[in-house]
Amino acid sequence: MMMPTLKCRILTFVALACLLQGCEKPAPMHGLVADEPLPAPTLKLAGADGKVFDLGTERSHTVVLFFGYTHCPDACPTTLSDWARAKVALGSKSDAVRFVFVSVDPDRDTPDVTRKFAQQFDPSFVGLATTAPQLDTIAKAWGFTVAREQMAGMSGYGVSHPAQSFVITRDGKVAMIFPPGLSPADMASDLRQLR
């Protein structure tokens, strides 16, 4: 019985590797994936440090974006807490993701207040405040409404805002939405697969 030649061994290995690679399926996505990702609307705001955050120039990061407010009793702290756990789950890949919180409460949320709120969940999180005219423009561009509302058991007022996080890829497109309640592990899994 003859031993296969080195060439035959290599060809067998390559064929086996191709077969195995063809059988691997990508992990399922957990967020709501856009059929045709559209360019993200403009988002350009000055931070507490005076530096301007411009979503249009964030080409080295996938951006996870949430519109909320610092006095929010539930959705906002829950979302940012989930982001912090997703960032930990990403491990070394977390450097490729920028988490951005934008306030929809210009009367109470100053740039410094918003920055501190976001960074209490993770020091790398970006917290941005808006002026009333900026908020009107942003809400219209991103397709949501904001309204003050009285909430039972709360002093002051609440603010209605989107409950989901927008996921913007490095090519500047809104590729996915993380619905409220999506687990940090599922967020991390989806973010690992985005380019």
Q: CATH number of the domain at 75, please.
A: 3.40.30.10
The answer to whether position 177 is within a domain reads: yes
* 95 pLDDT above the threshold of 80: yes
**Residue-level pLDDT at 18:** 42
This prediction has a pTM of 0.84
Query: Kindly report the CA angle at 118 between 54 and 34, in degrees rounded to 5?
Result: 55
Q: What is the DSSP string of 116-138?
A: HHHHTT-TT-EEE---HHHHHHH
Q: How confident is the model at residue 172 (pLDDT cuts 50, 70, 90)?
A: very high
How confident is the model at residue 14, as a pLDDT?
40
Residues β-bridged to residue 63: 98, 168
Give the bridge partners for 33, in sequence order. Answer: 176
In a domain, 22, yes or no: no
71 lies in some domain: yes
What the block records as the tokens of 25 is 């399926």
- Is the pLDDT assigned to residue 25 strictly greater than 70? no
Supply the pLDDT for residue 16.
39
Considering the domain boundaries, does residue 135 fall inside one?
A: yes
Give the structural domain span for 150.
Answer: 30-193
Name the CA dihedral angle for 8, 12, 15, 17, rounded to a multiple of 10 degrees: -130
Q: Looking at the domain assignment, is residue 10 inside a domain?
A: no
The number of domains in the chain is 1
Mean of pLDDT values over 127-156: 89
